């Protein structure tokens, strides 16, 4: 790195081997000749006293300004490992920072989701692997015990809906009025938050679905209902307000599932006809959402 140039014996040397005041002033001002500069720099590398003497020659306001910016950046950090990873995938850094305010992405929330899934799917998985005996009414041909998956079918899309609701309901954002009063597009903020909450919720749900007994297409079959439910909630929010929309969406899923579970068995809710219905709801909701998206720019404080 730094070469071993003639050090203190060079022209930088004052009587005691240190750089004189004039020399440092000349260095700071850029008026020294090359060889003197090299000597001063080599000397400074080893001498703290001359370094602080040189600091005194630098504009204090400039140093103070850089100091406070440095400390602010150090305080901000880089957002953690997850953000670094996502940033390298090309996602803009400022959007990733916004996610920090979403409750559905926090560890506590995700742990709760995992907890619920563990209970709901765990029982079904235990039956599947024969750890506890299954049995009950309503057997469908080819499947051991569809009633066992009923709790999971009920709760899994609701868990996804809950994650998305936490991302867009004002009651979950304590600084909501700041977001409204800010120029950042309310719709973009909404999309960023809900899409990330959606992903964060879908992954464990679908993974848990693989543990369940029942048809192999069950994990995939959960996708459309979950997406449709969330899209419906968002679109309905532009009409009836966010809280009412979230509750309505939840009820619109829970009631059919419960009805089916007590009569035929819950599987029809994820079979073909229902999938088409969900796809239709998803498309219609997407259209409504896009058409009424400036409703989100005003917030819900009308």
Partner 1 sequence: MSPGADERDDAALLRAVARGDEQSLATLYDRHAGWLTVRMSRRCAMPDVVDHAVQDTFLALWQKAGAYRGGGDVAAFIWGIGIRRLIDAIRRDTGARRWPPWRAAKPEVVVSAEDQVLAGIEHGRLGQALATLSPELRGAIEATVLDGLTCAEAGVLLGVAEGTVKSRCHRARVALRAALADQQAGPQERAYRQKVWGTS
Partner 2 sequence: MDEMTLNVTAVAVRADGLSRRYGATRALDEVGLNLERGITGLLGPNGAGKTTLLSILATVSEPDAGRVSVFGLDPRDGAERVEIRRRLGYLPQDLGYHRHFTVAAFLDYVAILKEITGRRDRAEEVARVLAAIGLEDRARTRIRALSGGMRQRLGIAQALLGRPDLLILDEPTAGLDPEQRLRFRELLSDLPGNPVIVLSTHQADDIAAICPQVIVLLQGRVHFAGTPAGLAATAAGRVWAANERDARAHLSWRGADNRWRHVGDRPPDDAELVPPTVEDGYLLLSHAAGAR
Residues 162-221 that bind partner 2 (CB under 8 A): 173-185, 189
Is residue 81 part of the contact set for partner 1 (CB under 8 A)? Answer: no
What are residue 8's phi and psi, to 5 degrees?
A: -60, -15
Per-residue binding string, partner 2, 104-143, x by CB under 8 A, is --x-------------------------------------
Between CA 127 and CA 103 the distance in angstroms is 33
**Residues in contact with partner 2, shown as a per-residue x/- string from 55 to 94 under the rule CB under 8 A:** ----------x--xx-xxx-xx---------------xxx
With CB cut-offs between 5 and 8 Å by kind, which of partner 2, partner 1, none does residue 92 bind? partner 2
Buried b (16+ CB within 10 A) or exposed e, 125-150: bbbbeeeeebeeebeeeeeebbbbbb
Question: Within 10 Å of residue 15's Cβ, how many Cβ atoms?
Answer: 6
Provide φ and ψ at 6, rounded to 5°: -55, 120
Q: In sequence order, what are the residues at sequence separation of 6 or more whose Cβ sits closer than 8 angstroms to the Cβ of residue 111?
A: none
Q: How far is the CB of 86 from partner 2 (least distance, A)?
A: 15
Q: How many chain residues bind partner 2 (CB under 8 A)?
A: 36
Q: Applying CB under 8 A, which of residues 17, 100, 115, 135 lies at the interface with partner 2?
A: 100
What is the footprint of partner 1 within residues 229-248 (CB under 8 A)? none
Decide which of partner 1, partner 2, none touches 30; Cβ closer than 5 to 8 Å per partner kind.
partner 1
Q: Which stretch binds partner 1 (CB under 8 A): 8-16, 102-110, 150-158, 241-249?
A: 8-16
- Contact between 30 and partner 1 by CB under 8 A: the answer reads yes
Q: Which residues in 139-198 contact partner 1 (CB under 8 A)?
A: none
Write phi, then psi, for 217 (nearest 5 degrees).
-85, 5
Query: How far is residue 28 from each of residues 3, 20, 129, 167, 193, measured CA to CA in Å?
Result: 21, 12, 77, 54, 50
Report how far residue 11's alpha carbon sits from residue 288's, in angstroms, rounded to the nearest whole number: 78
3-state DSSP helix/strand/coil % of the chain, to nearest 5: 70, 0, 30
State the residues that interact with partner 2 by CB under 8 A.
Answer: 65, 68-69, 71-73, 75-76, 92-94, 97-98, 100-101, 106, 173-185, 189, 294, 297-299, 301-302
């Amino acid at each position: 790195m730094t070469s071993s140039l003639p050090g203190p014996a060079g022209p930088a040397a004052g009587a005691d081997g240190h750089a004189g005041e004039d020399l440092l002033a000349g260095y700071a001002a850029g008026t020294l000749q090359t060889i003197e500069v090299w000597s001063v720099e080599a000397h400074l590398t080893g001498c703290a006293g001359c370094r602080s003497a040189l600091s005194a020659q630098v504009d204090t306001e400039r140093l103070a300004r850089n100091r406070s910016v440095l400390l602010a950046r150090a305080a901000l950090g880089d957002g953690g490992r997850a953000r670094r990873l996502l940033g390298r995938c090309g996602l803009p850094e400022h959007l990733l920072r916004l996610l920090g305010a979403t409750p559905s992405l926090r560890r506590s929330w995700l742990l709760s989701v995992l907890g619920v899934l563990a209970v709901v799917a765990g029982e079904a998985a235990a039956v599947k692997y024969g750890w506890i005996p299954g049995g009950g009414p309503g057997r469908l041909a080819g499947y051991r015990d569809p009633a066992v998956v009923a709790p999971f079918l009920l709760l899994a899309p609701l868990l996804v809906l809950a994650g998305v609701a936490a991302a867009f309901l004002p009651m979950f954002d304590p600084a909501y009025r700041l977001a409204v009063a800010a120029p950042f597009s309310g719709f973009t903020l909404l999309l960023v938050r809900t899409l990330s909450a959606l992903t964060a919720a879908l992954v464990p749900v679908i993974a848990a679905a693989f543990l369940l007994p029942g048809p192999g297409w069950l994990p995939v079959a959960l996708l459309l209902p979950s997406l449709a439910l969330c899209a419906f909630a968002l679109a309905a929010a532009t009409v009836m307000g966010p809280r009412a929309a979230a509750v309505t969406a939840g009820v619109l899923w829970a009631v059919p599932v419960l009805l089916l579970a007590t009569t035929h068995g819950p599987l029809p809710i994820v079979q073909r006809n229902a999938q088409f219905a969900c796809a239709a709801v998803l498309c219609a909701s997407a259209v409504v959402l896009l058409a009424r998206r400036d409703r989100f720019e005003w917030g819900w404080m009308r």
